[in-house]
Amino acid sequence: MIRRFSTYLYNHPGVLLALLLGPPLGWMLVIYLGSLAALLFQSFYYLDGFTGQVVREFSFLTYRDLFSAAHMTIVLKTVVMALSVTIGSVLIAFPLAYYSVRYAGKRLKVLLYFAVLLPLWSSYIIRVYAWKLMLAKEGIVSWFFAQLGLSGVLEWLLSMPIVGGASLSVSNFGLFLVFTYIWLPYMILPIQASLERIPHSLLDASGDLGARPLQTFRRIVLPLALPGVVAGSIFTFSLTLGDYIIPSIIGDSTPFIGMAVYSYQGTAGNLPLAAAFTVLPMVMMVFYLLGARKAGAFDAL
Amino acid sequence: MSSPPFLALLISMNPAISFEQVSRHFGTVKAVDEASFQVSDGAFFTMLGPSGSGKTTCLRMIAGFDLPTSGTIRVSGQEVTNLPPYGRDVNTVFQDYALFPHMTVAQNVEYGLMIRKVPKTERQKRVQEMLDLVHLPDVGSRKPNQLSGGQRQRIALARALINRPKILLLDEPLGALDLKLRQQMQIELKAIQQEVGITFVFVTHDQEEAMALSDQIAVFNQGKIEQIGSPHDLYEHPQTAFVANFVGTSNLISDDIAHKLTGERSTFSVRPEKMHILHEQTPIPANHYRLQGVVEDVVYLGIFTRFAVRTSEGLRLQVIDQNREAQDERRGDVVQIIWAKEALNKLAD
């Protein structure tokens, strides 16, 4: 019976393909894309301010609400944070990934790999709370600065207008640190993968043709690693855009997009506005990817 | 004291490359062990040897990708031993071609000139010259992955030649091509070398390829150079047993048997095609050596027949006989093996 079935599949590869791809494709189309579409539709309904009921009619009222000054401040703040976190992650991740790919020996490489992955094994809420303690006024970070006699530097940083605050744990800079820490693995791994794919002979060839190491880096390594950087930045950017836990634990608790979505779909019962808030990051990502493609980020793929 | 013409002569006499007792150790492994040689200007020089014999390491040290553990390397008389690759007037064609995948063919070829900040109009002119030289004038706008293996090979050659280096290094550049394409590229490589007139240093493990292309061949074995010479020298007068069997094949005549034949106690080699098989009773011509034996194996290959003969001393000889009319020796026949005295080649101990 099984044998005949196997033979049948062998002779009809199309049926095999349909059997294998059917379920995941169904999941993709119905549940995944379907719910995205539902979300999109939701955002074109609106909340009747008088009755507090969602009106299921097509309108731009919700989007007019979204583009109000108060809401745009939330969006702007989130986007600036997401951009900073992305840039910070690239600056930290790239040298680390480069070292691990080009210079680290086999054992050190495995060790670094573990070091990158290890934090992902523990709960992220625990790690965020740990950071809250570390960044607190009496926390280890300010203690460390004090031991080095650099408390002045920390105070200067905290006295800066937008970045600072009463202590690191309630400042935007502290929030930036925690975001960057939490999402860093998602930046390191794709960059490492893309660097791994560059054959060493390309670097030799560039030097052979007269390029100094910095020129080789700019003209060969960077363009070829760009798909990895873009992939990593999709993670760090979109994860920061959508997160609502970290900004509610760390920072000055002014709302981020994620927190806005959370509160509007919950107690406020304004599902259309929550949906519209979610559509915004998606639209941004689409434009980001189109821009990246136009800049040639995927030419090396 | 020295007059200017004499000085000019001295300078022009500088070899293109000279290795003085160059060693490269990787941990305890001696990849290259005290190699010394010179390559004359404009020569097609081949480093031949099995994999792991040190030939590629030598090439990488000329290019600057690897630095010697000890010794001195000079290019055109100037010491380059510890210079980085970008400080040397040498360019390389890589085994995997190493074309930059994110650039077009023209940008690849142009790369060396762009780094050197050559003006754009001249760059374009020279790129076209190079593409013409390798007979691919129209592929400039394509990406490397849109080319066939043979085409990539040519583009790698064009990219390396555009800087007009003094020396071109080629690291088994034909290894990935099929036989027919390889033979065609051999002819073209030789033609291009004659056209540009610079020194080529070629690495290969294929002795036939080395013979077909080279003016000089250095045979590498286990990090050491066994022998350097023209293809003719190496084939007719191999100095070691390794060379005798890596460049073509040879029958080795051990010192006992050699002593009986010549009175000299030394190891000799004889090429299989210089030996002949005669029937037991046939008289042997003058100035020939003779051994007696039994035919163990006969392989008919059309253009020639290969015999394995076990001599009465226990030596197994390979004899290659041109296709002739009456070839009736069979397995088990008792025969005589003869060869001219001058075909006996003495090996260094």
CB contact under 8 A, B65 and A204: yes
Do both B57 and B190 map to the same domain? yes
Looking at the fold, whether A263 and A144 belong to one and the same domain comes out as yes
Give domain status of residue A46, yes or no. no
The reply to whether A52 falls in a domain is no
Are A120 and A208 within one domain? yes
* A301 inside domain: no
Q: What is the pLDDT of residue A95?
A: 93
CB pairs under 8 A between A and B: 63
Is B78 inside a domain boundary? Answer: yes
Structural domain containing residue A182: 69-294
Residue A99 amino acid letter: Y
Check which CATH number belongs to the domain holding B223 and give it.
Answer: 3.40.50.300
Q: Are residues B52 and B199 in the same domain?
A: yes
Considering the domain boundaries, does residue B26 fall inside one?
yes
**B121 shares its domain with B258:** no
Q: Are residues B310 and B277 in the same domain?
A: yes
- For residue B71, tell me if it sits in a domain: yes
Domain co-membership, B289 together with B314: yes
Question: What is the least distance, in Å, from the CA of B98 to any CA of chain A?
Answer: 5
Asked if residue B181 and residue B41 are part of one domain, the reply reads: yes
- pLDDT tens for B156-181 read 999 999 998 999 999 998 887 888 88
pLDDT per residue as tens digits for the range B217-238? 999 999 999 999 999 999 999 9
| For B144, nearest residue in chain A (alpha carbons) | A300
With a cut of 50, list the residues of chain A below it in pLDDT. Answer: none
pLDDT, position B7: 53
A73 and A13 belong to one structural domain: no
Least confident range from A43-52, B261-270, B320-329: namely B320-329
Residue B8 forms part of a structural domain: no
Residue B132 falls inside a structural domain: yes
- Cα separations (Å) of A112 from A108, A117, A270? 6, 9, 46
Number of domains in chain B: 2
Indicate the SS3 state at residue A122: coil
The answer to whether residues B165 and B233 belong to one domain is yes
Residues B240 and B263 in one domain: no
> In chain A, what residues touch B94 (CB-CB under 8 Å)?
201, 204-205
| Facing residue for A199 by CB, picked from B65, B98, B112 | B98
Q: Is A212 on the interface with B (CB under 8 A)?
A: yes
Q: What average pLDDT does chain B have? A: 88
B76 and B42: one domain? yes
Whether residue A26 is found in the same domain as residue A120: no
CB of A199 less than 8 A from some CB of B: yes
Expressed as residue numbers, the domain containing B281 is 251-346
Inter-chain CB proximity B84 and A207 less than 8 Å: yes
Residue numbers in A near B63 (CB within 8 A): 204, 208
Helix (H) or strand (E) holding A263: helix A257-265
From chain A, the residues in CB contact with B115 under 8 A are 209-211, 215
| Residue A190, domain member (yes or no) | yes
Q: In Å, what is the CA distance from A272 to each residue of A58, A70, A75, A241, A268?
A: 11, 17, 16, 18, 11
Is residue B330, in this structure, part of any structural domain at all?
A: yes
- The answer to the question of residue A45 being in a domain is no
Q: Are A74 and A28 in the same domain?
A: no
β-bridge mates for residue B90, sequence order: B167
Q: Which of these three, B197, B221, B246, is where a domain ends? A: B246
Across the interface, of B90, B98, B116, the residue whose CB is closest to A202 is B98
Is the pLDDT reported for residue B326 higher than 70?
no
3-state secondary structure chain B: CCCHHHHHHHHHCCCCEEEEEEEEEECCEEEEEEEEEEECCCCEEEEECCCCCCHHHHHHHHHCCCCCCEEEEEECCEECCCCCHHHCCEEEECCCCCCCCCCCHHHHHHHHHHHCCCCHHHHHHHHHHHHHHCCCCCCCCCCHHHCCHHHHHHHHHHHHHCCCCCEEEEECCCCCCCHHHHHHHHHHHHHHHHHHCCEEEEEECCHHHHHHHCCEEEEEECCEEEEEECHHHHHHCCCCHHHHHHCCCCEEECHHHHHHHHCCCCCEEECHHHCEEEECCCCCCCCEEEEEEEEEEEEECCCEEEEEEEECCCCEEEEEEECCCCCCCCCCCEEEEEEEHHHCEECCC
Residues of B with CB under 8 A from a CB of A: 63-65, 84-86, 90-92, 94-96, 98-102, 111-112, 115-116, 159-160, 163
Subunit contact B96:A201, Cβ cutoff 8 A: yes
The answer to whether residue B50 sits within a structural domain is yes
Final residue in a domain of this structure, among B246, B276, B302: B246
Residue with the bigger pLDDT between B308 and B322: it is: B308
Residues of B in contact with A300 (CB under 8 A): 101-102
- pLDDT per position as a tens digit, B60-114: 999 999 999 999 999 988 899 999 999 898 999 999 999 999 999 999 999 999 9
Does the beta-carbon distance from A208 to B96 stay under 8 Å? no
Residues B191, B236, single domain; the answer is yes
Instruction: With beta carbons under 8 A apart, name residues in chain A contacting B100.
Output: 202, 205-206, 220
Nearest C-alpha in A relative to B104: A299
Domain final residue, candidates B246, B276, B295: B246
Q: Which of A207, A220, A296 is facing B100, going by the closest CB pair? A: A220
Classify residue A299: in a domain, yes or no: no
**Domains in chain A, number:** 2
Q: Find chain A residues with C-beta within 8 A of B84's C-beta.
A: 207
Residue, of B323 and A6, whose pLDDT is higher: A6
Q: Are residues A150 and A13 in the same domain?
A: no
* Domain match, A101 and A163 both: yes
pLDDT at residue B1, as a whole number: 42
Residue B125 has pLDDT above 90, yes or no: yes
**Do A14 and A100 have their domain in common?**
no
pLDDT at B327 over 80: no
Quick one: A187 and A88 in the same domain? yes
pLDDT at B211 (0 to 100): 92
B297 shares a domain with B217 = no
Of B63, B99, B115, Cβ closest to residue A210: B115
pLDDT at res. A261: 86
Tell me the average pLDDT across B247-256. Answer: 90
CB contact under 8 A, B90 and A299: no
Q: Which of A208, A214, A218 best tests the B interface by mutation, with the highest count of B CBs <10 A?
A: A208
- Which residue, among B92, B104, B115, would best test binding to A if mutated, counting the most A CBs under 10 Å from its CB? B115
Please say if the pLDDT value at position B3 is more than 50. Answer: no
**CB contact (8 A) between residue B85 and residue A201:** no
Residue range B195-221, pLDDT digits in tens: 888 999 999 999 999 998 999 999 999
| Residue B256 belongs to a domain | yes
Minimal C-alpha gap between A110 and chain B (Å): 22
Q: Residue A177's domain is classified under what CATH number?
A: 1.10.3720.10
B178 and B40, same structural domain?
A: yes
Interface contact A207, partner B, CB < 8 A:
yes
Any idea what the CATH number is for the domain that residue B272 is in?
2.40.50.100
User: Does residue A91 form part of some domain?
Assistant: yes
Residue A42 lies in a domain: no
Whether A111 and A4 share a structural domain: no
Furthest-apart CA pair in chain B: how many Å? 80
Query: Rounded CA gap, B317 and A201, in Å?
Result: 45
Q: Global pTM?
A: 0.81
